[in-house]
Structure formats: structure tokens, C-alpha cells
Chain A
Amino acid sequence: MDFLDEIESCVPALRRYARALTRNADRADDLVQDCLERAIRKRGLFRPTGPLQAWLFRILVNLWRNSLRSERRRGEHVAYDALVVEPSIPAPQHGRLALGEMNRALDRLPDDQRETLLLVVLEGVSYQEAATILGIPIGTVMSRLSRARAALRALTGSGDEPRLRTVK
């Protein structure tokens, strides 16, 4: 498979992760486009023995971190898509988490925990791969994951009791 085809095969996964990070479909595609352009430009530096997908994710994550940083500096607020979430989501069934609530909880996670959790859950990468992509030790991946899950559990209001949600 040629380099560009190989990149193309990674695009759906990159878009999914970007959507979850940015929570804005246009912004997600901007981020992916940036990532692809950079990858195509830098391909000379890429050793084809390494996994291409991990390399692309790493570029994407770095671009995302940079854009978060510069937004914070400029104090910009970025609109999330009123998302996917509210209208189309059916009322939570017993034992399920309400998606709107989950999305708001996700919002309140620190960036580093969110990027780690989403990478592991959505992309199904191993913890070692996640460590490579995020440029952190595997122990840090585990502790972020653990803190993220504990925080989400607290934020979605669930204690130890399985909880029946009442929906208006």
C-alpha cells in the first residue's frame, strides 16, 4: 500500500478521535486536515517501520494541545456543537448512563485525562500504544485513566448503588 493510501485508511479513526476531543465536527475536520498536511509534509522524517497510525495520532494530539494552549492564552471560548447529544439521544434505560450528562461530565475532566481516556476507549489502542502516542510513560496513562474514570463516576452522580434514573 502506498503511503498516501495508508494515511487515508487512518482518516476515519482520526476524525472520530478529533470529534471527541473538539466536540465540534468542523473544528475536528480542521484539526485532521492540519494533521494530514503536516504528516504529508514531514513524511521524509517518518521511518516506515514504525506504526503509521500511532504517528498520525501523535501529530493530531500535539496540534490539539497547541491549539488549546493558544486559545487559553487568548482567552477564547470555543463553541461546542450543541452536539449530536441532546435531541437524538433516547432516554436512558435502566443501567445506562445518560449521554448528555456523560458529555457534560467529560467536559469537566482535565484535558490530559480526557485525551487519554478517549484514546483508549474510542480507538481501542493498548496502554503501551497510548503512552507512545501521548508521549508519556505507561504509568501515567494508567493513573490518568484511573482518575478520569473515578471523576466521571462522581460526576455522573452514581455512587455504589446502581441507580434508576427518572426522566421527565
Chain B
Amino acid sequence: MTPGPASIPEDDLHAYVDGLLPPARAAEVEAWLAGHPEKAAEVEHWQRQNEALIALYPPVAPDSIPDRLRPRQLALKPRGVTLDWPQLAAAAVLILALGAGAGWALRDFDRPHGSTGLIASAVTAHALYVKENRHAVEVAAADRDHLVSWLSNRVARSITPPDLTPEGFELVGGRLLPPAYDDGTTGPAAQLMYQNAANDRVTVYITAAVPGEKNAYQFTSRETLDAFYWSNDRITCTVVGSLPEEEMKAVAKKIYTQLTWRPDGGAESWRS
């Protein structure tokens, strides 16, 4: 028998139990323990403790992750108070200024739910379809008349694809998407896709107006995507893309202006 070390530091005994020693050192510790029954009993108890802890709290299966713990889902959620703060602050000021009777002003701020789900759906659909080449759209721009009548029918609003030629974007086509909410709050959605010479794609997600929803404007960034959302008494529209901010704003404004144009009063003014 080789003469083992005279003593083993306690740290190494722990590391031995936790399987953190290199094999050669572990063998040394083992040999040493054989000659020191008292320490060996203690170390063995530690091993039993480890086994018991692992039995109490076994590994969690990766396929059992609930949706609420999926990072992708979480990334789509609005960012809570940080994002809403300016809106809330604005609402508070408004109330102070107008008095308690102006409480209605809060309604717009108070009910993010209509837009939240719509924006999330628009972003998800964007992320899903911009990657496609042959199947990016259901109906291509070449079939424009059909595209317009089909989507207008299904969404129950007349939808004329905005012209983004001055911004360098051509219409690729469009597709129909299921409602963002399954409780009937909104109907199906139309997605229009545009592309520029650099192959950057922008999508426009349009639904009929959400009943009871006031006009609203919202800008959100999710992952690498920016989304501009607005709604009026006729439609909701979410423009999604990953263009540089100024370009994104210009495109969104152009879309907004065209989609809100009315024969009677002209376009609503763009709030930037």
C-alpha cells in the first residue's frame, strides 16, 4: 500500500462528495478515508444527504415547461410598468387638470388588453412569415384585385393596400390570419407584406375595430422588432418591421395616412 497523505483538507472532502475532484485526487481521498473510519462515516452521511436531496428534488423534465415560463412568450408580453409609465403619468396629469369628472380620460390607458393581444399577434405573424420565401403570402400582389376583395370581405372592412413606392417598398401580397382573441372580440386579421430592394420586409396587420375601443396609438419594441399600433372607429392597424427607427416611422406614417384617408374629411393627423 502506498502511504497516503497524512490528512485531507475538509474542502476536498466536500469536493469528493460533490464529485468535483479530478479522478486521481478522488482516488487519493478514497484511500485516505479507508484508514480513517470516523471521517469516512461523516463523508458517507454527506453522500446520503446528497442522495436524499436529489430524491426530494429530482431534475425537471424540459418538455414540461408551461407556456408562462417560455422565454419567447414572455418576450412578447408588454414590458409592464416601465413602458406604461409615461402613459400613466400623462393620464394622472390630465385627471388633475380636468378634475375627477375627467376620469373617462383614463379609459384609453386603462384598457391595454385590446391592443396588447393584437400587437402580439401582429408581431408573431410577422416573425413567422417574413422568413418565408415561396410561401410568404397566400395571395401575391400580382393578383391584387382578388387580394383586395378577398381580404376586405373577410375582415369586413375595405382594405386598400397602401402605396409605399416612394419609400422603396413594393407590395409582396397578403394573407388572412385567425382572430387574435378567441372570444370574438376581434374578427380575422389581414396581413399585408412589403419588401424593399434590400429585402427588408414590413408587414401591416389589419383588423376591424375592436368594439368600444377608443382611438389609440402605441409604439412598442419587441425583441428586434418595432411595432406601431393605432386604431380608430373603423380598423386597428399594426405595422411591424425591423427598419432603422426613422425609416420605420416614415413608413408607418405613410401607411397610417393612407389607411385613415376619408373622402369626407381627409386623413386624420399623424401623432408622432
Which chain A residues (3-51) contact chain B, with CB distance < 8 Å?
A: 4-5, 7-9, 11-13, 15-16, 19-20, 29, 32-33, 36-37, 40-41
User: Are A95 and B69 within 8 A (Cβ)?
Assistant: no
- Which residues of the other chain, A, contact B70 by a CB distance below 8 angstroms? 8, 11
User: Are B56 and A102 within 8 A (Cβ)?
Assistant: yes
| B1 interface contact, C-beta 8 A | no
Which chain B residues (7-48) contact chain A, with CB distance < 8 Å?
A: 10-11, 14-15, 18-20, 38, 41-42, 44-46, 48
Complex Cα–Cα for A108 and B42 (A): 20
Which chain A residues (100-129) contact chain B, with CB distance < 8 Å?
A: 102-103, 106, 117-118, 120-122, 124, 126-127
Given contacts A12-B62, A122-B54, A124-B19, contact A4 B69 (CB under 8 A): no
| A75 interface contact, C-beta 8 A | no
Given contacts A124-B19, A142-B14, A153-B42, contact A15 B53 (CB under 8 A): no
User: Are A102 and B49 within 8 A (Cβ)?
Assistant: yes
Distance to closest chain A CB from B261 (angstroms): 38
Given contacts A4-B71, A29-B66, A97-B52, contact A15 B60 (CB under 8 A): yes
User: Are B53 and A160 within 8 A (Cβ)?
Assistant: no
| A136 interface contact, C-beta 8 A | no
User: Are B15 and A127 within 8 A (Cβ)?
Assistant: yes
Contact with A along B55-95 (1 / 0, CB 8 A): 11111111001101111101101011010000000000000
Q: Contact check: which of A40, A95, A145, A156 meets B71 at CB < 8 Å? A: A40
Residue of B nearest to A138 (CB): B11
| A85 interface contact, C-beta 8 A | yes
User: Are B20 and A126 within 8 A (Cβ)?
Assistant: yes
Distance to closest chain A CB from B48 (angstroms): 5
Distance to closest chain A CB from B210 (angstroms): 26
| B215 interface contact, C-beta 8 A | no
Q: Which of B55, B61, B69, B80 has the most CB of A within 10 A?
A: B69
| A58 interface contact, C-beta 8 A | no
Given contacts A8-B71, A152-B49, A160-B41, contact A120 B18 (CB under 8 A): yes
Residue of B nearest to A5 (CB): B71
Q: Tell me the dominant secondary structure on chain B's binding face.
A: helix
- Which residues of the other chain, B, contact A83 by a CB distance below 8 angstroms? 56
User: Are B53 and A8 within 8 A (Cβ)?
Assistant: no
Given contacts A12-B61, A12-B62, A41-B82, contact A33 B69 (CB under 8 A): yes
- Which residues of the other chain, A, contact B77 by a CB distance below 8 angstroms? 37
User: Are A32 and B56 within 8 A (Cβ)?
Assistant: no
| A67 interface contact, C-beta 8 A | no
Residue of B nearest to A120 (CB): B18
User: Are B57 and A99 within 8 A (Cβ)?
Assistant: no
| B110 interface contact, C-beta 8 A | no
Given contacts A124-B19, A149-B46, contact A11 B53 (CB under 8 A): no
Complex Cα–Cα for A99 and B55 (A): 8
| B124 interface contact, C-beta 8 A | no
User: Are B74 and A40 within 8 A (Cβ)?
Assistant: yes
Complex Cα–Cα for A83 and B58 (A): 13
- Which residues of the other chain, A, contact B57 by a CB distance below 8 angstroms? 16, 19-20, 118, 122
Q: A16-B57, A117-B53, A121-B49 are in contact. List 16 more A-B contacts (CB 8 A).
A: A8-B71, A9-B62, A11-B62, A11-B70, A15-B65, A16-B59, A32-B69, A33-B74, A37-B77, A41-B79, A95-B48, A96-B48, A127-B11, A149-B45, A152-B49, A153-B49
- Residues on A lying within 8 angstroms of B by beta carbon are 4-5, 7-9, 11-13, 15-16, 19-20, 29, 32-33, 36-37, 40-41, 83-85, 89, 95-97, 99, 102-103, 106, 117-118, 120-122, 124, 126-127, 142, 145-146, 149, 152-153, 156, 158, 160-162
